[in-house]
């Protein structure tokens, strides 16, 4: 991702979660964003501006009428400079002010004066958050195009349990990066991705599966989301956390995955099958746990559905992408799959490579296009592989 030179103005308002905004700023700095901080007067009572200044590496702005440090009027210059304004944490007060056109301090005037997108990460007591006045204000702002990162549920600083905890700082930083992503070429497109291993159940306690972690499919889904697509991720048995802004559908077996994919296939623009689908299942599922008996245990397996092949026969205008996991004759085998399954692209993976592939964050792949064009990519992050794949579809 290229965030260099992009400016995020972080508005910090007065709540106990103020200290967590420091963590978000640190994460944004690590991703190369330029960060400017505006603190409200009450925020400065929780954490001193010095901490924010040190992490953002910029003077913290809080007073509208302070001696200007440059010739520009502060709220106008920050409003213009911002590529995005993020209010972390956002109190009921700042939400109420912006929703009702009140601009009486540096943060509210900057928000009022900006043309940049504004995102609020609310944090407050549950009863405040559920107060119909706050809800009305949030709805009103959402209808006007302001974004909200919903608070989490849990034990709040005041001792109450419920919704109102500031969302996870990792999630907030990812949300901001997603909004600021340079490429938005999938806006208006529907993308379906499958990820992770399926399982084939043997008896109530045993199943067979494979080593796929699902990371490649998740990276593809996140790339598509950040480029503006409406994304559905149909995942097998992965333990990865559901990414924000993506509809995640769980399916454990080949049959379940087939059903979930077919239910949605017609409405998609792009379908990418990164899942490692089990090709065989036990001929007979035993309802009872198989007991230890003879020295040898033989199980018979029968072929299961080839989901991608089926999609290849049904496809009309969808761009269809498959993966080829190979231990030998990589390109030859991948090419065969591209044609047999009627694909537009196939991403060939050498599963014997150390350091890439299964469970790794990196991958080294070759992408083959329908017209025979072959693109060898060096080892790179799975997210970068995803980006190169979508670049090809332009």
Catalytic residue positions? 158
Under the criterion CB under 6 A, does residue 271 sit at the interface with ligand CTP?
no
Among candidate residues 70, 177, 194, the one with its CA nearest the CA of residue 117: 177
279 labeled binding residue: yes
Under the criterion CB under 6 A, does residue 116 sit at the interface with ligand CTP?
no
Closer to ligand CTP by Cβ: residue 12 or 338? 338
Q: Pick out residues in 5-64 that bind ligand CTP (CB under 6 A).
A: none
Under the criterion CB under 6 A, does residue 320 sit at the interface with ligand CTP?
no
Closer to ligand CTP by Cβ: residue 46 or 280? 280
Q: Pick out residues in 327-366 that bind ligand CTP (CB under 6 A).
A: 337
> Could you tell me which residues come within 8 angstroms of residue 115 by beta carbon, excluding any fewer than 6 positions away?
79
Distance CA 326, CA 206 (A): 26
- The tokens describing 60, both together, are 């913290």
For residue 189, the number of C-alpha atoms closer than 13 Å in the C-beta half-sphere is 24
Sign of the Cα pseudo-torsion (136, 142, 146, 148, in order): positive
Identify which range of 89-97, 184-192, 234-242, 320-328 contacts ligand CTP by CB under 6 A: 320-328
Closer to ligand CTP by Cβ: residue 308 or 365? 308
336 labeled binding residue: no
Minimum distance from residue 212 beta carbon to ligand CTP (Å): 9
DSSP at 239: -
Distance CA 374, CA 138 (A): 49
Alpha helices for the chain (secondary structure H): 18-30, 43-46, 49-56, 74-81, 92-99, 106-113, 126-130, 132-143, 169-179, 215-226, 254-265, 307-314, 330-340, 382-392
Is residue 281 within 8 A of residue 200, CB to CB? The reply is yes
Q: Which helix (H) or strand (E) holds 166?
A: none
The neighbouring-strand residues paired with 276 are 197
323 labeled binding residue: yes
Using DSSP bridges, classify how beta strands 190-195 and 230-235 pair: parallel, antiparallel or unpaired.
parallel
Minimum distance from residue 307 beta carbon to ligand CTP (Å): 3
Task: Pick one of 141, 324, 367, 389: the residue that binds ligand CTP (CB under 6 A).
Answer: 324
Closer to ligand CTP by Cβ: residue 256 or 279? 279
Identify which range of 150-158, 225-233, 272-280, 289-297 contacts ligand CTP by CB under 6 A: 272-280
337 labeled binding residue: yes
Under the criterion CB under 6 A, does residue 279 sit at the interface with ligand CTP?
yes
- The tokens describing 318, both together, are 């969808």
Task: Pick one of 216, 229, 277, 319: the residue that binds ligand CTP (CB under 6 A).
Answer: 277
Minimum distance from residue 303 beta carbon to ligand CTP (Å): 8
DSSP labels, 36-103: EEEE-TTHHHHS-HHHHHHHHTSPPB--TTSPPSSSS-HHHHHHHH-SEEEEEEEPHHHHHHHHTT--
Minimum distance from residue 344 beta carbon to ligand CTP (Å): 12
- The tokens describing 223, both together, are 């790339």
Closer to ligand CTP by Cβ: residue 11 or 322? 322
Minimum distance from residue 256 beta carbon to ligand CTP (Å): 13
Closer to ligand CTP by Cβ: residue 36 or 273? 273
Task: Pick one of 215, 227, 252, 273: the residue that binds ligand CTP (CB under 6 A).
Answer: 273
> Could you tell me which residues come within 8 angstroms of residue 14 by beta carbon, excluding any fewer than 6 positions away?
40, 41, 42, 43, 44, 45, 46, 91, 93
Identify which range of 154-162, 170-178, 201-209, 301-309 contacts ligand CTP by CB under 6 A: 301-309
Q: Extract the annotated binding site.
A: 279, 289, 323, 337, 341
Q: Which residues here bind ligand CTP, judged by CB under 6 A?
A: 273, 275, 277, 279, 304-308, 322-325, 337
Q: Extract the annotated binding site for CTP.
A: 279, 289, 323, 337, 341
């Amino acid at each position: 991702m290229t965030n260099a030179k992009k400016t995020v103005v972080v508005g910090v308002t007065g709540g106990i979660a103020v200290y967590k905004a420091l963590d978000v700023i640190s994460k944004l700095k690590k991703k190369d964003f330029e960060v400017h901080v505006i603190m409200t007067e009450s925020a400065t009572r929780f954490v001193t501006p010095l901490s924010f200044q040190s992490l953002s590496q910029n003077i913290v702005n809080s007073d509208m009428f302070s001696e200007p440090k440059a010739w520009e009027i502060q709220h106008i210059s920050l409003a213009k400079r911002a590529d995005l304004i993020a209010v972390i944490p956002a109190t009921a007060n700042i939400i109420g002010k912006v929703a009702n056109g009140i601009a009486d301090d540096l943060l509210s005037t900057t928000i009022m004066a900006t043309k940049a997108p504004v995102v609020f990460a609310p944090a407050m007591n549950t009863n405040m958050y559920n107060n119909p006045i706050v809800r009305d204000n949030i709805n009103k702002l959402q209808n006007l195009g302001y974004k909200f990162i919903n608070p989490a549920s849990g034990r709040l600083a005041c001792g109450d349990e419920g919704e109102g905890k500031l969302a996870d700082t990792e999630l907030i930083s990812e949300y901001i990066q997603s909004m600021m992503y340079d490429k938005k070429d999938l806006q208006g497109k529907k993308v379906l991705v499958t990820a992770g291993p399926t399982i084939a159940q043997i008896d109530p306690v045993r199943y067979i599966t494979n080593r796929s972690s699902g990371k490649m499919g998740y990276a593809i889904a996140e790339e598509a989301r950040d480029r503006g697509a409406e994304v559905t991720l149909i995942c097998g048995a992965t333990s990865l956390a559901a990414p924000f802004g993506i509809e995640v559908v769980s399916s454990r077996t080949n049959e379940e995955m087939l059903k979930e994919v077919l239910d949605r296939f017609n409405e998609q623009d792009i379908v990418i099958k990164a899942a490692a689908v089990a090709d065989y299942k036990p001929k007979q599922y035993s309802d009872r746990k198989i007991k230890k008996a003879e020295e040898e245990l033989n199980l018979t397996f029968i072929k299961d559905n080839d989901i991608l092949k089926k999609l290849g026969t049904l496809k009309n205008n969808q761009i269809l992408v498959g993966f080829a996991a190979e231990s030998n004759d990589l390109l030859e085998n991948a090419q065969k799959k591209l044609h047999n399954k009627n694909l537009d692209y196939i991403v060939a993976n050498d599963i014997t490579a150390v350091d890439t592939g299964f469970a790794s964050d990196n991958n080294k792949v070759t992408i083959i296009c329908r017209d025979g064009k072959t693109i060898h990519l060096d080892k790179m992050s799975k997210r970068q592989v995803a980006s190169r794949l979508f670049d090809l579809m332009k």
